Amino acid sequence: MISKLLDPQSVALVGASPKPGTVGYVILENLVTRFRGAVYPVNPKYDEVELWGRKLKFYKSVSEIDATVDVVVVATPAPTVPSIVEEAGRRGIPAAVVISSGFAEAGNQELEQRLASAARQYGVRLLGPNCIGVYNAFSNFDTLFLPLDRAGRPPPGPLALISQSGAVAAAIMDWAARRGIGLGLVVNYGNKADVTEVELIEHFAADDRIRVITIYLEGFKYRGEAAKFLNAVRKTVPKKPVVVYKAGRGRAAQRAVRSHTAAMAGTYEMYKGLFSQAGALEASSVREMFDMAKALATQPIPRGPRALVVSDSGGMAIQAVDALEALGLEVPEVPESIARELKRELLPFAAVSNPIDVTGSATDQHYKVVLDALLPTAFFDMALVITLMQVPGLTKNLAEYIIDSRRYGKPIAVVNFGGSELVQRFEEVLEDSGIPVYPTPERAAKALWALYKYGEIRRRL
């Protein structure tokens, strides 16, 4: 019944409130104003309330709702939660999202055990407690208690995020929304009294809307969870990539993990080995995780490690070569026969050995000449294209030339840096057409490395 947690058609909100500024108010507003399914507010203090231009009927309990309910969202004080979940189970509701905190993470293990026991007894699949729950951009099922003006909601897209931290999940969503990154499904599981990241990985592996699974992980609660995680990821990776950022690497950070989500941090070396065995790509930061995911969701897998670098800045080209080679990718020289052709087409002072420096006097056509001459050949497996649009000879048409190069079936990552309207529009056109853009050569190189590494992992598994 994981699907009822993530893709419900109807929801009951226990703890719904007409009082602005409360958790129950924000979640109710999310659901009533944007969710495409049916919403049933539950709070015994109210009968009918006018909110957001409509009259809302409040129910005294979930037992009073005379309609099918797929999921109950609970936002009430912790001591009341087990009985609410038990009532939902007797009512036949198959899933529950428990927003409430004050369970094992606060030292109340017995209360959490009672909650988990009630869910098991009635077959209710439980997400949480101590979580922000689910954001589904496809249906606008949104249990976040953070107002839209403070935490943006990203558009539908091919990325899924599984996060052990609610605040991190919300911050990532806000960051993705500001950049137009398509984050279709986000799940924060909190204390994972029932549903774990393993089941979520398995669910997303089978979801055709999702191309890349990203995971923010702090730690496992029990030793046996590591083996289950390994098996789930290994089964998933041949179908789609899994990118993980592990927080809580040092000793002090591990203490924070235990108090945050009642998780066992474990040694970082253990997790690093686990990710390698499972075939997950490990990121060193949240930003790097999404740099990789963006490329993995949009670009083909390269056949080999050989990168073409083309740039209108010699300095940026050198940085790109350093970054690529530091990651184990290759930057081979252009064959002499093709180099002679390029010399005839490019400016006399252009460098044509790889990196190819079309210089600050370049035009859009110079990039097109390089890409059309080299990407179709067997000498290069991918391209890192640096386009500093401050150069006077470049126009918005360059984006179309780069997009057209997709026909060669090789991954492309673009580096573009600046704040002018032309720069921003240039990036938007590329990103909208599925070409990932990064502000530095190092980040673009890591994205290309992720594509190559995933190809290696998939062949191995």
Q: What is the pLDDT of residues 19-33, one digit of tens each?
A: 999 999 999 999 999
Give 159: exposed, middle or buried? Use CB within 10 Å, 0-12, 13-18, 19+.
buried
Distance of CA 43 to the CA centre of its chain: 34
Give 120: exposed, middle or buried? Use CB within 10 Å, 0-12, 13-18, 19+.
middle
> What is the DSSP secondary-structure string of 158-206?
SEEEEES-HHHHHHHHHHHHHHT--EEEEEE-TT-SS--HHHHHHHHHT
Q: Give the domain ranges of the chain.
A: 300-460
Which residues pair with residue 351 across a beta bridge? 357
Q: What is the pLDDT of residue 252?
A: 47
Q: How far apart are the C-alpha atoms of 233 and 277, rounded to whole Å?
A: 9
Q: How far apart are the C-alpha atoms of 437 and 414, rounded to whole Å?
A: 5
Count the Cβ atoms, other than its own, within 10 Å of residue 267: 11
Residue pair 134/6 in contact by the 8 Å Cβ criterion = yes
Q: How far apart are the first and last CA of the chain?
A: 29
What is the number of helices (H) and of strands (E) in the chain?
A: 16, 20
Q: How far apart are the C-alpha atoms of 254 and 250, rounded to whole Å?
A: 6
In which region does residue 262 sit, left (phi positive, over 0), alpha (psi from -120 to 50) or beta (all else)? left
Q: What is the pLDDT of residue 109?
A: 96
**What is the greatest pairwise CA distance in the chain?**
82
Dihedral sign for Cα 415, 421, 424, 426, please.
negative
Q: Tokens in use for 135?
A: 């954001």
What confidence category does residue 250 fall into, taking pLDDT thresholds of 50, 70 and 90?
low
Angle at 440 between CA 158 and CA 296, to 5 degrees: 25
Element (H, E) at 120: helix 109-121
Instruction: Pick the more confident residue, 363 or 268.
Output: 363
Average pLDDT over residues 135-142: 98
Nearest alpha carbon to residue 261 among 185, 167, 171, 186: 167
Q: What is the pLDDT of residue 461?
A: 86
pLDDT digit string (tens) for 347-362? 999 999 999 999 999 9
Q: How far apart are the C-alpha atoms of 291 and 448, rounded to whole Å?
A: 10
Which residues pair with residue 311 across a beta bridge? 357, 386
- pLDDT surpassing 60 at residue 129: yes
In which region does residue 180 sit, left (phi positive, over 0), alpha (psi from -120 to 50) or beta (all else)? left
What confidence category does residue 253 fall into, taking pLDDT thresholds of 50, 70 and 90?
very low
* pTM value > 0.85: yes
Which residues pair with residue 127 across a beta bridge? 97
Q: How far apart are the C-alpha atoms of 391 and 74, rounded to whole Å?
A: 56
pLDDT digit string (tens) for 77-94? 999 999 999 999 999 999
Instruction: Pick the more confident residue, 420 or 45.
Output: 45
Nearest alpha carbon to residue 364 among 324, 422, 321, 307: 422
Residues in contact with 459: Cβ distance below 8 Å, sequence separation at least 6, in sequence order = none
Q: How far apart are the C-alpha atoms of 439 and 297, rounded to whole Å?
A: 19
What percent of the chain is modeled with pLDDT above 90? Answer: 91
For 300-460, give the CATH class: alpha beta
Q: Tokens in use for 325?
A: 């080679």
Which residues pair with residue 163 across a beta bridge? 188, 216
Q: What is the pLDDT of residue 261?
A: 47
Q: What is the pLDDT of residue 19?
A: 97
What confidence category does residue 419 fall into, taking pLDDT thresholds of 50, 70 and 90?
confident
Average pLDDT over residues 152-161: 97
